[in-house]
Each structure stands twice: as C-alpha cells, then as structure tokens.
Structure 1
C-alpha cells in the first residue's frame, strides 16, 4: 500500500504472474481474481481493470466466491487484536475507527460477528472506508435478516467496493 502508484502502462506490460503478484492485494488473500482478469488486458482505465476483476467474480463458481468471502477477516476480530491483518485490512479498519473501540462497542462487534458467522458461515464484509463504526454496526444488525443468497451477493458487492478503492489507491490512470 505504501509503494508508489503504478501506471496502467506498467500493468499492461506485465506478464500474468507479475500482474497477479502486483495486484493480488486488491482481493483479500485471493490473487486468483486478478490473475484471471489479466486475460482482459490491456486496460485503458482503472475502471476497466476493476470491471474485468468483477467479471471474473461473476463467472466464478460458488465455492470460489465463498472462499474469497471467507478469506476476509472479521471486523474488530481476533486477527485485528493479534495484529495479523493484511496491511490493507488493517488500514481500512483503522480508517473506520475499529482500532479504537470502547469495551461496549468491542463487545457489540464480537456478539454480531459471532451471530453473523453462525448464520452465514463467513465473516461480515462491508467497505469500511465508506462507513463509520456506527453505520457498520447498524449494517451488521440489519443484514442478519438477509437470506443466504442475498448475503452472498451483498458480500461480493462489498468486496467489489473494497477492491475498487484498493485499485484506485495503487494504480494511476
């Protein structure tokens, strides 16, 4: 995240391995998404690059989509406490104040994370950079009412928002 931004020209000159290694961070511990999106190169904009990655997700089988969802950490969860989040997730959670929770807020996140994981079998995902902790808690509570298919779709939509922000940070047009 701290490396100087890449240009689209840089990315368009890379081979598949270099491309996937360089952009693999955009989809939490799942470089297969950008590796497959490489087939749509060359890209004329970050939006086109992101659209190619989302097309990969749309075409991916359900088990791969669920594996991507499950690769994400819980918000304010054990990985955050143990400081084992990816650099991107750590910065994103901090941007929403999730590294500065009161004991009551932390307990609320813990209870909702557990209920959500029990209901859906994967962690709650939201583009935290576009929300604050109050909005995140409200969304966690509200989304517990979704059915499995709706929540998988919403998790993928949120991953799309997260990855777009990450790509916009890393790549200049």
Structure 2
C-alpha cells in the first residue's frame, strides 16, 4: 500500500479508475483521501465515493456496464476486464437456447428498469446468473438500483485485488 500512496493522481486514476466501468471519477475522488492504511481502507473509500455520488452519476455508472452475454464483437464498449469476467462465467460460450434465454431476460430487465442487469459474474456461473436475473425482475426500481451498486462494489473489490497483485508482481 505504500507504493499506492506515493502514486501521483494521474497514475492512480490510470491504475484504479478501471475498477468502476468507464467511471474513473470514483478513483479521482478517492485519491484525495490518501494515505490508505491498507487495501480494505482504499476499497471502503472508493465505495463511499460511489455511494455518495449524485443519482445521475450513479445511474451513469450503472449504465456504463455492458449487457451480459452479448455476442463477441457486438459491443465495442466492452472493456477487457468485462470480457474476461464474462468469459469466466461461460457467457462467451452459450448454446443458442441459453443465448435466447439471456436475450429475453436482458430485454425484460431493461424494459422494467432502464439499466443493464449487473452481477459479479466472477462469483457466479451462467445458471446462477439466469436465476438471479429472473428473481431480480421482481424487485422495485429503488431496490434494484441498490442491488446493482452492491454488485458493482463486488466487481470493484475483485478488480482492485487483481490490480494490486499486478503491482506486486511488477516490483
């Protein structure tokens, strides 16, 4: 963590901004809270910044996430991290029937909530993801927004761990 605390703002945001999909503003705001005692402290600060953001900023962050199980090459905004994470859950290798089910649930979810379905795919498999999509369609919009932010926090924690491991390996 000593190395993280010595980074200048540009490098900190370059490294940790991708923890939050296309939303480096979370890392930019967290930077001012250094020094971080440890990785958990840094993650708590980033989570706090995400949750204290305006409703508009939170919705932009949620909407920055890709739709799950889109066919490869269809979504030019898909980050390398998202592509790797979706592949880890097998979402890049769906049968036509599974793809059709994802498509139908994604469409129903987007129609109801106006946001993409977000789940930490690295902590799930495609069956669990489909079950969660179905279950969460029963949520009201406010509950689902909070659930999406909770899932973004899980994604960010795993991404942070990966970034810190890469920094450690590089030293």
Shorter-chain TM-score tier: over 0.9
How much does 1:81 deviate? 4.2
1:14 aligns with 2:12: no
1:25 aligns with 2:18: yes
1:47 aligns with 2:55: no
How much does 1:83 deviate? 5.9
Match of 2:81 in 1: 88
Provide the aligned C-alpha RMSD in A: 1.3
How many angstroms apart in 1 are the aligned matches of 2:95 and 2:73?
14
Identify which range, 39-48 or 126-135, moves more after superposition.
Answer: 39-48
1:100 to 80, 93, 117: 93
| Runs of 4+ with >3 A deviation | none
| Structure 2 unaligned residues grouped into runs of 5+ | none
Give CA deviations for 1:124-162 in whole Å, capped at 9, x if unaligned.
000000000000000000000100100000000000000
2:120 to 101, 119, 127: 127
How many angstroms apart in 2 are the aligned matches of 1:132 and 1:44?
34
Match of 2:27 in 1: 34
TM-score by length of 2: 0.92
How much does 1:9 deviate? 2.1
Match of 2:104 in 1: 111
How much does 1:10 deviate? 2.2
How many residues in Structure 1 have an aligned counterpart in Structure 2?
Answer: 165
Q: What is the SS of the residue equivalent to 1:44?
A: coil
| Structure 1 unaligned residues grouped into runs of 5+ | 1-7
